[in-house]
Structure 1
Amino acid sequence: MTDWITTPIEPRLLRGALDVERTAHGVLPHRLPGWARRQFPDGYLAMVEAQPSGVRLAFRTRATAVELDVLATKTAYQGGPTRPDGVYDLVVDGRPAGRASVAGGNLQTVDMASWSAVTRPGPPGTARFAGLAAGLKDVEIWLPHTEITELIALRTDAPVEDAPDLGRKVWLHHGSSISHGSNADSPTTTWPALAAARGGVELTNLGLGGNALLDPFVARAMRDTPADLISVKIGINLVNTDLMRPRAFAPAVHGFLDTIREGHPGTPLLVVSPVLCPIQEDTPGPIVPDFDGRQLSFRALGDPSDRSRLTLNVIRDELARITAQRAAEDPNLHYLDGRSLYGEADFAELPLPDQLHPDPAGHRRIGERFAEIVFGAGGPFAVAGG
């Protein structure tokens, strides 16, 4: 019989969360602070910011067995295919060491036409990891990137202490559902997690599915979050939602960057334009889901001849212009065309299964490219490896 030790789950054990909410069951990590959550009425954003992409428990222990009690809130899309249970990735001393899933939990069903949701309650469960090597080690448990996860209890068969500060730089990233990890296999195989591992940095991921919309409260959250390196991947959601016209786009980008710079005046700041997405390169939004009973996909409804609306190519041109203009007075501001991460040749080899999001191999391609271009020698974040 295992002699378990229960360790209270305190914010100091969590990385990648900007806020931790006390709940009736335990604690709930958030990727936007409480004040920001009070500034938006959108239920879908409330769901995705609470999905803990990039959030992990981190501690040092001699334990050979670890259990984590959780209450998950899983997401289903009305009319869409059944989604598998989320994955908990175990990382020991920086290397993958196991995976687990937890059955049960709440089920939130989203109507993609209105983005409204209905939640059916369910029971908590336990993620279990056994057979860890003996000896002192640094352990991380990466939480499922697409499941809201209330943390109830952490049990180990040896005492837990705080993880040491390894002196790594903190990379703060904001983007859309691709940055959030849509279609990735697990939380450590989203493209930002893969790039962070290769770059040797600590990730704080503000990839918010469907919600990279230049919201002022996101810019203020980034302004107030400690970071050594910052990137913002802008564009695809503005086209997807047909939210903004060209007249509003450039001032909104300037305002977003101005706000970040209020808190990080000299931090390396990288603006990344959208990766290739053929259905929206020259066709405005909005997009709508299309489910044929087997495969979910998306299509754009806009008129390609309508020059009054944003497309991905229009956004890339504007972002290149804006960053070049600002870089004349801000030498730590950089621009990256997203097609250098995933472009036409990549689409031919690794097509987007739903016409919008990369598959797991696509995430790996984007993560490897980002690490090479951005964290590699001569890249805007090359200093991170020093």
Structure 2
Amino acid sequence: MNDQDTLAATPIGQDILRGAVELEQTARGIMPHRLPARARAQCTDPQLAMAESQPSGVRLVFRTQATDIEIDILPTRYVYTGIPPRPAGVYDLLIDSRLVRQSSAAGGDTVTIDMAAGTASKQSGPLGTVRFTDLPGHDKKVEIWLPHNEITELVALRSNARIEPVAGDGRKVWLHHGSSISHGSNGDSPTSIWPALAASLGGVELINLGFGGSALLDPFTARTMRDTSADVISLKIGINLVNTDLMRLRAFTPAVHGFLDTIRDGHPTAPLLVISPLYCPIHEDTPGPGAFDMSALAAGKISFRATGDPAERKAGKLTLTVIRDELRRIVQERAANDPHLRYLDGLELYGAQDFADLPLPDQLHPDGPAHRRIGERFAGLAFGSEGLLTIDCPTR
């Protein structure tokens, strides 16, 4: 089929969808998930439910001669009372690994959150359609990366030429877990968030388990990583444990050991990189919990602040400085019996000087240029013959 006036449907399934851990058949289409149902059943936190359903790193991948491609989607968008709504989620289309088009779609459901009142309400909306037209007509590999920050149900895929799955090309699979920064918060588009950029530069296939607000050393996340096929693995641990004020140092240390033990049950010799937090002034030496800055909200902006007392560090409260020191110690201790375990200080990716050059707009999350800097640095440090995610590189 190669009729420029006819669009035919192709079923959406695991054969053309990458980066998702599980696909859920909904009443309207397919919902990509980044945690399996058994993990989702163990936690009813709405923040986690939202984060794992946002398809950061998930993309359609296929070969085709099509010049016109359409996807019917049902997005779920979150808006905050008093804050201008952010733009609709971006879909990045790559041809033979090169970004050539970006598009968005109207429609979808809307969840309105009133942070001052602590309430949320949902309004249903119609399907939207993402269209890419006038593409080159030669045989090509097409990737369509879904919005990293918008829950997306995939309803239908249509094209004016046959779509075929792409066979594996031998690239290593990189499995990464982290917080909202890994998820892509404040990034410009799905292929420009730092893990996607690093994967592109490093020539690896990304499975991104970055969960906004939810990198909390949950055992079900560790089991998901244990059971997910991967060649190299990384964990970025720390900021969510501070800004949720979830645990003290006494609980943190064995929780990290347990998380690593579980991953090693499924990946006993894979290169495994532990990354400590990036620089974040509000939490460097001040414990959580973190909170919205209400004066900023009154001015129509989102910003965060730390509410803890630095003196509480003596009682075991966590700060980013405390976590970096402890993660370094844990990795050094374990590396004596685990030669493929490494440590990367997050300040090497984004430190105090980077904050001076590219400040965090909301005091917590990097913007687009900072994502690029982090991704480029990570690719240089982690991948390649001397990278931290290669077999023979010593622990830093």
Please indicate the TM-score interval, normalised by the length of the shorter structure. Answer: over 0.9
Question: Secondary structure in 1 aligned to 2:66?
Answer: coil
- How much has 1:374 moved relative to structure 2? 0.9
Aligned to 2:38: 35
Letter in 2 for 1:332: H
How far, CA to CA, are the matches of 1:377 and 1:115 in structure 2?
Answer: 50
Is 2:226–2:263's contact at 8 Å kept on the other side of the alignment? yes
Check if 1:187 corresponds to 2:195. no
Question: Secondary structure in 1 aligned to 2:196?
Answer: helix
- How much has 1:112 moved relative to structure 2? 4.3
Letter in 2 for 1:285: G
Question: Secondary structure in 1 aligned to 2:305?
Answer: strand
Check if 1:148 corresponds to 2:151. yes
How far, CA to CA, are the matches of 2:185 and 2:164 in structure 1?
Answer: 33
Question: Secondary structure in 2 aligned to 1:171?
Answer: strand
Check if 1:370 corresponds to 2:378. yes
Percent identical pairs in the alignment equals 63
Letter in 2 for 1:211: S
How far, CA to CA, are the matches of 1:271 and 1:45 in structure 2?
Answer: 22
How many pairs align? 384
Aligned to 1:301: 307
Question: Secondary structure in 2 aligned to 1:12?
Answer: coil
- How much has 1:80 moved relative to structure 2? 2.9
Match of residue 100, structure 1, among 97, 100, 103: 103
Is 1:171–1:202's contact at 8 Å kept on the other side of the alignment? yes
Alignment deviations for residues 300-344 of structure 1 (CA, whole Å, 9 cap, x no partner): 000011122000000000000000000000000000000000001
Cα 1:94/1:115, change in 2 over 3 Å: farther
- How much has 1:214 moved relative to structure 2? 0.1
- How much has 1:378 moved relative to structure 2? 1.5
Question: Secondary structure in 1 aligned to 2:376?
Answer: helix
How far, CA to CA, are the matches of 1:116 and 1:336 in structure 2?
Answer: 39
Please, which moves more after superposition, 2-11 or 120-129?
2-11
Could you list the structure 1 runs, at least 4 aligned residues long, displaced by more than 4 angstroms after superposition: 111-116
Check if 1:25 corresponds to 2:33. no
Aligned to 2:282: 279
Is 2:271–2:391's contact at 8 Å kept on the other side of the alignment? no
- How much has 1:365 moved relative to structure 2? 0.4
Alignment of 1:1-386 (within 5 A): 2-112=5-115, 117-290=120-293, 291-307=297-313, 308=315, 309-382=317-390
How far, CA to CA, are the matches of 2:201 and 2:177 in structure 1?
Answer: 18
- How much has 1:131 moved relative to structure 2? 1.5
Cα 1:114/1:43, change in 2 over 3 Å: farther
Is 1:64–1:157's contact at 8 Å kept on the other side of the alignment? yes
Letter in 1 for 2:331: T
Is 2:340–2:391's contact at 8 Å kept on the other side of the alignment? no
Question: Secondary structure in 1 aligned to 2:259?
Answer: helix
- How much has 1:163 moved relative to structure 2? 1.2
- How much has 1:97 moved relative to structure 2? 1.3
- How much has 1:164 moved relative to structure 2? 2.1
Cα 1:129/1:183, change in 2 over 3 Å: same
Cα 1:356/1:383, change in 2 over 3 Å: same
How far, CA to CA, are the matches of 1:367 and 1:348 in structure 2?
Answer: 18
Question: Secondary structure in 1 aligned to 2:255?
Answer: helix
How far, CA to CA, are the matches of 1:44 and 1:168 in structure 2?
Answer: 33
- How much has 1:114 moved relative to structure 2? 8.4
- Any stretches of 5+ residues in structure 1 without a counterpart? none
Alignment deviations for residues 37-66 of structure 1 (CA, whole Å, 9 cap, x no partner): 111011111111000000001111110111
Question: Secondary structure in 2 aligned to 1:183?
Answer: coil
Cα 1:111/1:269, change in 2 over 3 Å: farther
How far, CA to CA, are the matches of 1:26 and 1:352 in structure 2?
Answer: 37
Is 1:31–1:52's contact at 8 Å kept on the other side of the alignment? yes
Question: Secondary structure in 2 aligned to 1:324?
Answer: helix
